[in-house]
Structure 1
Amino acid sequence: MTGEGEEEMKWRQRKGWLEARTSLGWCVVPAFLIIWLHRLHCFKKEQMKVIEPVELFQKLCSSGAMQKGRLLGLDVGQRYVGLAVSDVANRIASPGSVLVRKKTNIDIMAKVFQKLVSQHSLVGFVVGYPFCLWGQSSVEAVQVRLFMEDLRNTGRLNGLAYTYWDENYTSKCVEALLEPLDLNPVKSKTIKDKFAAVGILQGYLDNMNRKLKPGNLARE
């Protein structure tokens, strides 16, 4: 490159402009605009999204992540969110922690989820959802969806997927098991939320592993 050409390139770099090829020929586009458009494209492509239960498990299997990737189960309540995590084979759910839920701390919760994603190589969430037999949407169902939308909108969990799984009677079963222990209300509540999340995730894992066995999948 000649000295004159080098000077022209340096001038363009100092001004923050880049040349971009279009169908109409070469045109000059601001560098910051190219970077912004690239980030916007990546955000749309990788934004956390809801998918069908079978699709989430198939994604886990087809990606080759079955030996290392895990799933996180969520029991979303008005005040607390109980967590459970699968093992590396995605067959057994174990209790995790309980997060305090507030309208003002969604970004803090997203950071906690980010940390869990890194610690456990999470590839998706299984979220308990109170499906109604009559097709009506309950208050509990609405608040679960709002929570997941708020979590997604933080942008901290891009690239992950989540699905909804029936949580009906899960909490009631856990309450029945805890009743004989006569625990104090606070401790009982946190334990209930943890194991409700375990019940949600374990039900999902049992169903998917049974449904997606090679023989069963071939028959379907």
Structure 2
Amino acid sequence: MTSALVPLEHFLALPAHARLLGLDLGTKTIGLALSDVERRIATPLETIQRVKFGLDAAALLKIADKHRVAGLVIGLPLNMDGSEGPRVQSTRAFVRNLAPLTGLPIAFWDERMSTLAVTRTLLDADASRAKRAAVVDKMAAAYILQGALDRLLRLQPADEDDEA
């Protein structure tokens, strides 16, 4: 199997009613979010505790298969000035290692400010520190995936929009 790192726009050609899986790669966890079949809404799914790459990839691909995912959107942690630091290098290495294990297309999405935005939302909701720690990664994945879904929706030709 060979997946391809593709521009997000390539996801417009994916089969109808196929979901996307969003990932927020951290050093200790991988937050996951799942789109609906219309690819309009991202929902936090779960958090994988990272162990080692092989086990992490197997868990991730099992979840993707279970939910019939057609593509992966992975948050790219660029620096605020747009430059690439060690976290971007780590994310790119993860994708390089994951790509040969799956036939799914993979696209990066700029994740700057995602964890901060989610943390602020949780603070506004008066979530406890323990609650924030338990959900922030999968919520950040949903934030990343929602940004990509919104972009895909804007890129759709007018004749593919819902008839209202």
Kindly indicate whether residue 13 of structure 2 is the aligned counterpart of residue 59 of structure 1: yes
Deviation at 1:213, TM superposition (A): 2.9
Identity %: 31
SS of match in other structure, 1:89: coil
- Distance of 2:64 and 2:123 partners within structure 1: 33
Flag structure 2 segments of 5+ consecutive residues without an equivalent: none
Kindly provide the amino acid, as one letter, of the partner of residue 92 in structure 2: R
Alignment partner, residue 83 of structure 2: 136
Deviations 1:75-101 (A, max 9, x none): 011111100000011111111110112
Kindly provide the amino acid, as one letter, of the partner of residue 161 in structure 1: P
Deviation at 1:150, TM superposition (A): 2.5
Flag structure 1 segments of 5+ consecutive residues without an equivalent: 1-45
Alignment partner, residue 96 of structure 1: 45
Kindly provide the amino acid, as one letter, of the partner of residue 121 in structure 1: R
1:89-168 equivalent positions in 2, closer than 5 A: 89-102=38-51, 105-132=52-79, 134-153=81-100, 155=101, 157=102, 159-168=103-112
Deviation at 1:211, TM superposition (A): 1.8
Kindly provide the amino acid, as one letter, of the partner of residue 123 in structure 1: A
Which residue, 11, 20, 29 being the options, matches 1:80? Answer: 29
Deviations 1:165-197 (A, max 9, x none): 011111111111122424234x42231111100
* Distance change >3 Å, CA 78–CA 209, structure 1 → 2: same
**Conserved? CA contact 1:128–1:197, under 8 Å:** yes
RMSD: 2.0
| Higher fraction of helix | 1
**Conserved? CA contact 1:78–1:143, under 8 Å:** no
SS of match in other structure, 2:109: strand
**Conserved? CA contact 2:24–2:144, under 8 Å:** yes
- Return the TM-score normalized by structure 1: 0.66
**Conserved? CA contact 2:79–2:85, under 8 Å:** yes
Deviations 1:109-143 (A, max 9, x none): 22222322222111110001123465521122111
* Distance change >3 Å, CA 118–CA 182, structure 1 → 2: closer
- Distance of 1:76 and 1:208 partners within structure 2: 22
Between stretches 127-136 and 205-214, larger displacement belongs to: 127-136
The aligned length equals 159
> Which is higher, the Rg of structure 1 or of structure 2?
1
- Distance of 1:93 and 1:107 partners within structure 2: 26
Kindly indicate whether residue 3 of structure 2 is the aligned counterpart of residue 48 of structure 1: yes
